[in-house]
Structure 1
Amino acid sequence: MFWIALPLTMVYLGLCGFMYVRQRELVYLPHQTRVEATQTNFALVNGDVTLRGWVVNPGRKRALVYFGGNSEAIQLNRSSFARWFPQHTVYLVAYRGFGASEGQPDEAGLASDALALFDHVRLQHPRIGVDVIGYSLGSGVAAHVAAQRPVRRLALITPYDTLADVGQAHYRWLPVRLLARDRFDSVSNLSRRTGPTLVVRAGRDKVIPAASTQRLIEALPRRPRVLELPSAEHGNVAAAPGFSRTLKAFFATPAPRSGPSAINPVAIHVHRPLPGRRKST
């Protein structure tokens, strides 16, 4: 038995080591997002890294910052966001290592960049405040910003409790919670969040487990508004009927004051079939 168990143990430890070293190549998938810097219209320097992206609807009093998925070409949202949020200047800035942004992606870098971007946007829009959307991987980035800065309204699309727990759900045979280098702990980051929050769930999501999103919802100190899209998959949630209408209404409404006058959370259910779309995390 020893001579059988030993090589199996060595193989297992080797797989653990491989996953520890190469895990970021599984988390961050920037290859299909690359563009030339000349195709962007916005740049921000954070330390030794220049981040690049796009500004939509420039000159508006309100501002909205979007953090995308782990393989998302965020520039494809420009026309939709211009229509959905006509009262907002929208900032679509690629993560480091994505699009035309410099550097290599990791949690510390993305968190630092996100705060630098928020601070820059807040200076440009000082009167009303800054709204934030985070999709999939970006929901963890958005949660970090909301923990550190006064986010006016926060929308989390297909979010998770922690990225480590999502990885553990996909690789049950590996000690992912011990191996994870980038954790994106949204539960901890949002533990004091009391501002207006919208959570969008895809009923057929095979990337973010339903239990992961539910744990995040239950951990929030103030129950969020929840949009349920039972027929949506992870990658086509933005095409679901009711998605854009709910986002537009959520960000068009003035942020309520805390206390009895605050708007009660609402759950919306949409059941119509959806067109397909590329996955992103």
Structure 2
Amino acid sequence: MSRILVSIVVIAAALYLALCAGLWVFQRALIYFPQPGSADSATTQMRLVVDEAQVLVSVRPRDGPQALIYFGGNAEDVSANLPQFAQAFADHALYLMHYRGFGGSSGSPSEEAIAADALALFDQVYADHRQVVVIGRSLGSGVAVRLASQRPVARLILITPYNSLEELAARQLPIFPVRWLLRDRYDAWKYARRIQVPTLLLAAEHDEVIPRASTERLLQQFAPGVARLEVIPGTGHNSIAASPRYLPLLRKGM
């Protein structure tokens, strides 16, 4: 092998290792895209103090046993759902969690931090409402299914869900050893196996972010008879909530 060829190989290897190091260091900047809260200042907010972080939750209070907890996507302002949910779920108290770094919450997002915050929120809500429906959309579907495997939720609804984030990342970055680099894996399949409550998986027909195959692999992880899949035709990953079938299917899942 010539000296020039050796030099090219060494430079290419060094560049590849540098890119791997960059993915390791900056990976969370590629997963989470914090958004400010857009709801008006009159919106009721609950403040959770968890591990020295302050996590904000947009709330529509309601007395009674029924409540809904919502976990959004990786670039979602969850408070924007509040007017729509308030009309659709009139009998439920609503709790929409802003991940760390999102919507005024302090701290930085990570899988373990968000999972801990989700448990803290559920425990506080469950003290006042004994029938808690948990909804997770996109990234939040992984948060929701993990929570439902650890707490007595009444029902579980997963919107545009995935089997695992590792699987999606490997599809997007096939030349990198994602299995060894990824810190936040969101292995929804692992927690789905433990779910015993009625579960609805809601998919977009033309989801350009999460392949249908990933959603269907997750569906197969649930025990027989626990989960079912509904596909909303003519929708994409970010347009599913605009479909006239979206809220009726959510209500049906509850």
TM-score by length of structure 2 reads 0.93
Match of 1:226 among 225, 229, 237: 229
Report deviation, 1:191.
0.9
Separation in 2 of the partners of 1:74 and 1:132? Answer: 14
Match of 1:243 among 238, 241, 246: 246
Report deviation, 1:13.
1.0
Separation in 2 of the partners of 1:87 and 1:3? Answer: 69
Residue matched to 1:262: none
Is residue 73–residue 99 contact of structure 1 (8 Å, CA) maintained in 2? yes
Separation in 1 of the partners of 2:248 and 2:41? Answer: 33
Equivalent residues in 2 for 1:77-226, closer than 5 Å? 77-126=81-130, 129-223=131-225, 224-226=227-229
Separation in 2 of the partners of 1:33 and 1:90? Answer: 16
Report deviation, 1:33.
4.4
Residue matched to 1:264: none
Q: What residue identity is the alignment partner of 1:22?
A: F
1:17 is aligned to 2:21: yes
Is residue 134–residue 157 contact of structure 1 (8 Å, CA) maintained in 2? yes
TM-aligned CA distance change 1:31 to 1:192, over 3 Å: closer
Report deviation, 1:6.
1.4
Separation in 2 of the partners of 1:225 and 1:207? Answer: 21
Q: How far does the alpha carbon of each residue in 1:10-65 deviate from its partner, in whole angstroms, 9 at most, with x for none?
A: 11111111011100001010045478988652212123111112111422420110
Q: How far does the alpha carbon of each residue in 1:103-145 deviate from its partner, in whole angstroms, 9 at most, with x for none?
A: 111111000000000000000113xx21100000000000110
Q: What residue identity is the alignment partner of 1:234?
A: H
Q: Unaligned 5+ residue runs, structure 1?
A: 252-281
What is the SS of the residue equivalent to 2:104? Answer: coil
Separation in 2 of the partners of 1:214 and 1:237? Answer: 17
1:50 is aligned to 2:54: yes
Q: How far does the alpha carbon of each residue in 1:162-200 deviate from its partner, in whole angstroms, 9 at most, with x for none?
A: 111111111112111221000111000111212100001
What is the SS of the residue equivalent to 1:111? Answer: helix
- Percent identical pairs in the alignment equals 41
What is the SS of the residue equivalent to 2:141? Answer: helix
Is residue 156–residue 200 contact of structure 1 (8 Å, CA) maintained in 2? yes
Equivalent residues in 2 for 1:243-262, closer than 5 Å? 243-251=246-254
Separation in 1 of the partners of 2:113 and 2:243? Answer: 32
TM-aligned CA distance change 1:70 to 1:189, over 3 Å: same
Q: What residue identity is the alignment partner of 1:94?
A: H
Separation in 2 of the partners of 1:35 and 1:25? Answer: 24
TM-aligned CA distance change 1:15 to 1:58, over 3 Å: same
What is the SS of the residue equivalent to 1:130? Answer: strand
* Worse-matched range after superposition: 175-184 or 217-226: 217-226
Q: What residue identity is the alignment partner of 1:136?
A: S
Aligned residues: 249
Compute the RMSD of aligned alpha carbons.
Answer: 1.8
Residue matched to 1:29: 33
TM-score by length of structure 1 reads 0.84
Report deviation, 1:250.
1.8
Is residue 56–residue 78 contact of structure 1 (8 Å, CA) maintained in 2? yes
Report deviation, 1:230.
3.1
What is the SS of the residue equivalent to 1:151? Answer: coil
